[in-house]
Amino acid sequence: MFESTELNRRNARVEKSMGFLYLVMTLILITPVLLILGLLIYKGAPHLTWEFLSTDPKSGMTAGGIFPALVGTIALVLGALIASVPIGVAAAIYLSEYAPDNWFTRIINLAIINLAGVPSIVHALHGLGAFVLFFKMGTSILAASLTLAIATLPVVIVSTRESLAAVPMAFREACWNMGATRWQTIRKVVLPNSVSGILTGVILEVSRTAGETAPIMFTGAAFFLPFLPESIFDQTMALSLHLFVISTQVPGVPEHVPYTVALTLIGIVLIMNALSIGFRMYLRGKKKW
Amino acid sequence: MVALSRQAAPTPTGAPAAENKLEVRDLTITYGKTPALSNVNLEVRANEIFGIIGPANSGKTSFLRVLNRMDTFTTGMKFSGTVYYEGKNLRSWRNLYALRRKIGVVFPLPVGLPLSVYDNVAMAPRLYGTQKKSELDELVERHLRRAALWDEVKDRLHALGSLLSGGQQQRLTIARALSQEPDLLLLDEFSIAVDPVTTMKIEDVLKELRQEMTIVLVTNLTQQARRLADRTAFFLSGQWVEVGDTEALFTGNVKDERTRSYLEGRFG
For residue A41, the model assigns a pLDDT of 92
Backbone CA torsion sign across B33, B39, B44, B49: negative
Residues of B with CB under 8 A from a CB of A: 68, 70, 73, 75, 97-101, 103-105, 107, 109, 111-115, 123-124, 127-128, 160, 162, 173, 176, 180
**b or e along B233-245 (b: 16 or more beta carbons within 10 Å of the residue's beta carbon)?**
bbbbebbbbbbbe
> pLDDT 10s digit of each residue in chain A, 289 long?
678 888 989 999 999 999 999 999 999 999 999 999 999 999 989 988 888 888 888 877 777 888 999 999 999 999 999 999 999 999 999 999 999 888 999 999 999 999 989 999 999 999 999 999 999 888 899 999 999 999 999 999 999 999 999 999 989 999 999 889 999 999 989 998 888 888 888 888 888 899 888 999 889 888 888 778 888 888 888 999 999 998 888 888 888 889 999 999 999 888 888 888 887 788 777 666 5
For residue A79, the model assigns a pLDDT of 93
For residue B192, the model assigns a pLDDT of 85
Q: In chain A, what residues touch B111 (CB-CB under 8 Å)?
A: 170-171, 173-174
- Phi, psi (degrees; rounded to nearest 5) at B186: -105, 120
Every domain of chain B and the residues it spans? 20-102+182-263, 115-181
Query: Does B97 sit within 8 Å of A179, measured CB to CB?
Result: yes
For residue A288, the model assigns a pLDDT of 61
For residue B7, the model assigns a pLDDT of 43
- CATH topology (fold) of B20-102+182-263: Rossmann fold (3.40.50)
Mutation site for A-interface testing, chosen from B100, B102, B181, B190 by largest number of A Cβ within 10 Å: B100
Nearest-5° angle of CA A178, CA A179, CA A180? Answer: 95
Residues pairing with A137 in the sheet? none
Give me the DSSP letters along A79-131.
Answer: HHHHHHHHHHHHHHHIIIII--SSHHHHHHHHHHHHHHHS-HHHHHHHHIIII
Query: Distance from B194 to chain A by nearest Cα, in Å?
Result: 18
Every domain of chain A and the residues it spans? 6-47, 51-286
For residue B6, the model assigns a pLDDT of 42
For residue B10, the model assigns a pLDDT of 44
**ipTM of the prediction:** 0.84
Residue ranges in chain B modelled with pLDDT below 70: 1-18, 267-268
Does residue B193 contact residue B166 with C-beta atoms inside 8 Å?
A: yes
Query: Does A100 sit within 8 Å of B111, measured CB to CB?
Result: no
For residue B186, the model assigns a pLDDT of 93
Mutation site for A-interface testing, chosen from B69, B72, B127, B190 by largest number of A Cβ within 10 Å: B127
Q: In chain B, what residues touch A180 (CB-CB under 8 Å)?
A: 97, 127
Closest among B99, B148, B104, B95 to B123, alpha carbons compared: B104
User: Which CATH number among 3.40.50.720, 1.10.3720.10, 3.40.220.10, 3.30.450.20 corresponds to the domain A51-286?
Assistant: 1.10.3720.10
